[in-house]
Amino acid sequence: MTRRRRAPRHRGRVSAAFLASGLCYTANCALGAAVATRIIDTRRFRWVHHALYIATVSTTILALIVGVRSDRRAALALAPALAPLAVIPYAGTHTRRHPVIALTAAPFIAAGVFTSRR
């Protein structure tokens, strides 16, 4: 009889951290796109976009810390997303650079989420 290999108990926490990073990033991009296309006017509550950015960076760093200890493949897939997230505050907000730089993090965040879920 062969034994089935059990998944580690902390596996759910690891994928939850990566999922939180992906959800914060998606919410931030959705709000940014809605503002850019003038679907939403955030002049009175501009801080929401900044708070989502801080949440995205924080959850991405948290996912990397948790991932390095538990799921290195997912952490390695997510790690390059930190570069565009670090550059974003220095890109002008009313230029084409801002959304382009923001979207360069997307494949890495998606790869981190998908790798952590498998």
- pLDDT tens digit string along 29-69? 999 999 989 999 888 888 898 999 999 999 999 999 999 98
pLDDT of residue 45: 87
Per-domain residue ranges of the chain: 11-117
b/e map 71-107, b = 16+ CB within 10 Å: beebbbbbbbbeebbeebeeeeeeeeebbebbebbee
- 11, pLDDT greater than 80: no
pLDDT of residue 8: 53
The average confidence (pLDDT) of the chain is: 88
Model pLDDT for residues 17-27, shown as the tens digit of each residue: 999 999 999 99
